[in-house]
C-alpha cells in the first residue's frame, strides 16, 4: 500500500493509495459543494447539478457519456450530500485512462437549457419517490426541525417548488463558484501507478480554472423541538430523534461512532435488547453523522402506532440513564470488534477505499490508512465515551414522528 499526494498548479489536490493486489481501481472527484452551500432560493441546486454533469459536454451528449462508461464496464455513480458532491467510477485497471478522460470531461459540462428542463422532470420524480417513503419523509423533516435556520437543515433534494423554480443561469453561476479546482479533491485507490495518475490528471484537468469557495460554518444548536406529521394511510409509525454530536474535525469521532454502535447497532445494542428483542419495534438504530464543524446522533425507530408513545418514553429513559448506567468495558469491546471487522471488510474494495481517502483529505488533509483507522478505534477508552455523553447527551433530542396518528407528545 503506497500513499501519494500532490497539488496541481490550478489548485486541484490529488491523493492516491495504490495497491498492486487489487483487481480494480476506484477514481473519484470530490467537490466541496452541497445543500449547506445553497441559499434558500437555490435549494436542491447542488443535487440537480450532479444530475446535469452526466448530461454532457461540448464533445459528448448524455447518451455518449453513459454509453462510453458502460462500454468499459465501469461502475459509475454520483452522490450529493449536505456538504459534498462526489463523482466516482470503479473500473478494471486497463480502463483507467478512458474512465479518467470521461470523468474529467464531464466535470466541465455544457449545462444546456433543454437538458436542464428534461432533467428537472427527473428530479421532480425523484422528490416524489422519496415523498412516498415514510422513513425519508421523517428523516428530512427531523433534520429540518433540528437544525432550524442552520444551513445543514436544508434538503439535499430540495422541494417540488424550489426545484421547479430553478433557472439554468443559477446553475451556471453556482458551477462557476463551486467547481473551481481548489475546491476539488481527486482521489484514486487500487491498482495503478502514481506516474499514471499524475500524467492523467495533468493531461485532463490542467485547463481547469476557478478559485476556492467560501463556506459559512456557524455552530449548530439543535432546536430540540417536537413535531408529529400525519400520514393517515400508513400502517407503521416512524420516529426520528436527533441530538448534536462531535464534528468531523474532532478526534472524538471514533468514540462517537462506537457509542452509536453500542446504543443502536442493528444487533446486540441497547436499543436492540430494549425494543427489537421484545418485539416493541421492528427497527431501532442509532447512527453518528459527522459534518464540517458539526455533528449529530440520529435515532430511527419503526413500530406499531399503539407503541409509539411508549417507545418515545423508553427511548428517553434509555438515553437519560446513560449517565448513571454508562457503557461497560464489555460493551465497548464488542462494539469495537464489530466495527473493526466491518471496516476491514468494506475497505477490501478499492471503491470504498477511494471514498474514505477522498473524504479524509477534503476536510482533514490527512491520510488515514486502514491500519491507522483500526489503531484509532483500538485507542478509544470508556472515559472517551463518558466524555462524549457528558458533552453531547442524546436526550433531550429533536423528535419527529410520522405515521397514522399525531396524538403523541414529547416525553418529559
Nearer to other proteins, 12 or 127 (CB): 127
Nearer to other proteins, 225 or 340 (CB): 340
* Residue 296 and residue 245 in contact, taking contact as beta carbons nearer than 8 Å: yes
Nearer to other proteins, 75 or 325 (CB): 75
Nearer to other proteins, 123 or 389 (CB): 123
DSSP annotation of 278: T
Nearer to other proteins, 12 or 106 (CB): 106
Q: Which residues of 107-144 are buried (b: 16+ CB within 10 A; e: fewer)?
A: bbbbbbeebbeebbeebbebbeeeeeebebbbbbbbbb
Q: Largest alpha-carbon pair distance within the chain? A: 64
Q: How far is the CB of 291 from other proteins (least distance, A)?
A: 26
What angle (nearest 5°) sits at the alpha carbon of residue 299, between those of residues 297 and 301?
175
Q: Which residues of 264-300 are buried (b: 16+ CB within 10 A; e: fewer)?
A: bbeeebbbbebbbeeebbebbbbebbbbbbbbbbbbb
Q: How far is the CB of 118 from other proteins (least distance, A)?
A: 4
CA distances from 411 to 72, 280, 292, 356 (A): 55, 17, 31, 38
Nearer to other proteins, 340 or 376 (CB): 340
CA distance 91 to 314: 48
Task: Tell me which H or E stretch contains 188.
Answer: strand 184-190
Task: Tell me which H or E stretch contains 240.
Answer: strand 237-244
- Tell me which residues touch other proteins (CB under 8 A): 21-24, 62-63, 66-67, 69-76, 90-92, 95, 117-126, 128-129, 131-134, 233-236, 267-268, 272-273, 276-283, 302-304, 330, 333-335, 337-338, 340-342, 344-345, 348-350
Q: How far is the CB of 377 from other proteins (least distance, A)?
A: 11
- Could you give the strand order of the β-sheet that contains 398-403, starting from the edge strand earlier in sequence? 226-230, 398-403, 237-244, 294-303, 283-291
Q: How far is the CB of 395 from other proteins (least distance, A)?
A: 24
CA distance 78 to 100: 15
| Residue with the three cell numbers 434509555 | 318
Nearer to other proteins, 32 or 55 (CB): 55
CA distance 69 to 101: 10
Q: Which residues of 27-53 are buried (b: 16+ CB within 10 A; e: fewer)?
A: bbbbbbbbbbbbeeebbbbbbbbbbbb
Nearer to other proteins, 55 or 410 (CB): 55
Q: How far is the CB of 254 from other proteins (least distance, A)?
A: 16
Q: How far is the CB of 182 from other proteins (least distance, A)?
A: 30
Nearer to other proteins, 294 or 308 (CB): 308
3-state percent helix, strand, coil for the chain, nearest multiple of 5: 45, 20, 35
Q: How far is the CB of 125 from other proteins (least distance, A)?
A: 4
Q: How far is the CB of 279 from other proteins (least distance, A)?
A: 3
Q: How far is the CB of 404 from other proteins (least distance, A)?
A: 10
Amino acid at each position: 500500500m503506497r500513499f501519494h499526494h500532490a497539488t496541481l498548479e490550478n489548485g486541484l489536490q490529488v491523493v492516491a493509495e495504490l495497491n498492486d493486489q487489487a483487481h480494480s481501481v476506484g477514481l473519484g472527484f470530490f467537490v466541496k459543494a452541497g445543500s449547506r452551500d445553497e441559499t434558500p432560493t437555490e435549494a436542491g441546486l447542488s443535487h440537480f447539478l450532479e444530475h446535469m454533469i452526466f448530461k454532457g459536454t461540448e464533445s459528448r451528449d448524455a447518451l455518449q457519456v453513459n454509453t462510453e462508461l458502460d462500454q468499459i464496464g465501469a461502475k459509475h455513480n454520483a452522490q450529493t450530500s449536505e456538504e459534498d458532491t462526489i463523482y466516482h467510477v470503479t473500473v478494471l485497471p486497463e480502463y483507467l485512462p478512458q474512465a479518467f478522460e470521461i470523468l474529467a470531461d464531464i466535470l466541465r459540462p455544457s449545462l444546456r437549457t433543454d437538458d436542464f428542463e428534461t432533467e428537472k422532470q427527473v428530479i421532480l420524480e425523484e422528490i416524489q419517490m422519496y415523498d412516498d417513503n415514510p422513513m425519508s419523509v421523517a428523516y428530512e423533516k427531523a433534520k429540518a426541525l433540528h437544525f432550524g435556520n442552520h444551513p445543514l437543515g436544508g434538503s439535499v433534494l430540495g422541494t417540488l417548488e424550489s426545484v421547479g423554480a430553478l433557472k439554468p443561469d443559477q446553475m451556471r453561476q453556482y458551477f462557476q463558484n463551486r467547481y473551481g479546482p481548489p475546491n476539488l479533491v481527486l482521489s484514486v485507490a487500487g491498482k495503478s501507478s502514481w506516474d499514471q495518475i499524475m500524467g492523467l490528471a495533468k493531461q485532463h484537468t490542467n485547463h481547469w480554472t476557478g478559485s476556492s469557495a467560501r463556506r459559512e460554518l456557524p455552530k449548530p444548536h439543535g432546536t430540540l423541538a417536537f413535531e408529529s406529521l400525519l400520514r393517515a394511510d400508513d400502517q407503521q409509525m416512524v420516529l426520528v430523534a436527533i441530538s448534536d454530536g462531535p464534528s468531523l474535525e474532532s478526534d472524538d469521532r471514533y468514540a462517537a461512532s462506537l457509542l452509536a454502535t453500542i446504543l443502536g447497532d442493528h444487533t446486540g445494542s441497547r436499543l436492540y435488547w430494549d425494543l427489537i428483542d421484545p418485539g416493541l419495534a421492528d427497527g431501532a438504530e442509532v447512527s453518528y453523522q459527522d459534518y464540517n464543524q458539526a455533528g449529530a446522533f440520529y435515532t430511527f425507530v419503526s413500530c406499531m402506532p399503539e407503541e409509539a408513545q411508549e417507545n418515545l418514553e423508553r427511548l428517553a429513559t434509555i438515553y437519560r440513564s446513560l449517565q448513571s448506567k454508562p457503557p461497560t468495558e464489555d460493551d465497548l469491546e464488542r462494539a469495537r470488534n464489530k466495527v473493526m471487522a466491518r471496516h476491514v471488510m468494506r475497505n477490501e474494495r478499492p471503491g470504498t477505499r477511494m471514498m474514505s481517502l477522498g473524504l479524509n483529505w477534503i476536510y482533514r488533509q490527512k491520510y488515514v490508512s486502514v491500519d491507522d483507522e483500526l489503531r484509532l478505534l483500538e485507542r478509544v477508552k470508556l472515559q472517551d465515551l463518558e466524555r462524549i455523553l457528558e458533552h453531547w447527551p442524546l436526550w433531550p433530542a429533536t423528535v419527529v414522528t410520522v405515521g397514522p396518528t399525531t396524538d403523541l407528545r414529547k416525553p418529559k
